[in-house]
Amino acid sequence: MKQLFYFILLLILATGCQPKENSTKVYLFSYFKDNGQDGLHLAYSYDGYRFVALNNDSSILTPQVADDRLMRDPCIIKGPDNKFHMVWTVSWNDRGIGYAWSEDLIHWSDQKFIPVMQHEPTARNCWAPELFYDEVEQQYMIYWATTIPNRFKSGETQGDSNYNHRMYFTTTKDFTDFSPTQLLYNEDFNVIDAVIKKINNEYLMFLKDETRNPARKHIRIAKSTSLYGGYKLASPPISPDWVEGPTVTKVNNWWVVYYDEYTRHHMGAIRSADLINWETINDSISFPEGTRHGTIFKAEERTLNDLIEAFD
């Protein structure tokens, strides 16, 4: 018996296999409050439904870039470099977005302004940027909504304050050099707040139809076989009207879409087992009061424990 034990131990050492430490995942949610002037907020959940604010619901990072110095719509993903990368809306009216990275969500890099629409002198905004890591091309895609006046006829009279957004994107491997900005999604209506998930070898874009006249303001799904274009609407509205900022994750066997019910001043959510039939689960979720448009992502439990120790 003793010889067998030593043989197995030698085999483990020879092959470089080491016992894995606990890698339990928890859910983190990045969000802003009010107008985004105080910066990044984080909440956590063990079950994906009930979220608790970190740092007594105070900001953990103050915005430093652009004239307005806002940090709205923060999107965080963890890259293959084990860094958390974040992009955000810096202003209601600017032609760039904010970027920073962190190894632990506690200590952050210098903040950077990325002028993604600087080449379009009439562009009105860059709203709700999101990140997607493309494992095939080994690069990040950043995508967001912008209005360029008179660029698209459809939707010109159907939005708020003459906004008529479409989705655009750029790619980068290092957040230093960026590909030329391109149009990502246009199906002849005003669209914002898109988030993309790769599911069953398809790319699903959960998006907000921003049409005000007649009022829609709801979430729909467009699909493509390519990350970088070709998206076509594939669903009727899956959410109530007057919501925004969808963010998506898998909780056990359910796909859950959280969103900001901004006219009703609370977060809402729906879930589906098949991405076709959806049920509202507002009674099952809880978020810190005043939570606005954010992003859900998963992290190691030890990362959360470090956050709790640092901020609570």
Task: Indicate the domain borders of the chain.
Answer: 25-311
Q: What is the CATH number of domain 25-311?
A: 2.115.10.20
Q: Is the pLDDT of residue 181 over 60?
A: yes
Q: Is the pLDDT of residue 82 over 60?
A: yes
Digit-coded pLDDT (tens) for 12-38: 344 344 333 446 899 999 999 999 999
Digit-coded pLDDT (tens) for 276-287: 999 999 999 999
Res 89: pLDDT: 98
Cβ neighbourhood burial of 306 (10 Å; 0-12, 13-18, 19+): middle
Q: Is the pLDDT of residue 163 over 90?
A: yes
pTM of the model: 0.91
Residue in this structure with the two tokens 């467009």, named with its chain if needed: 222
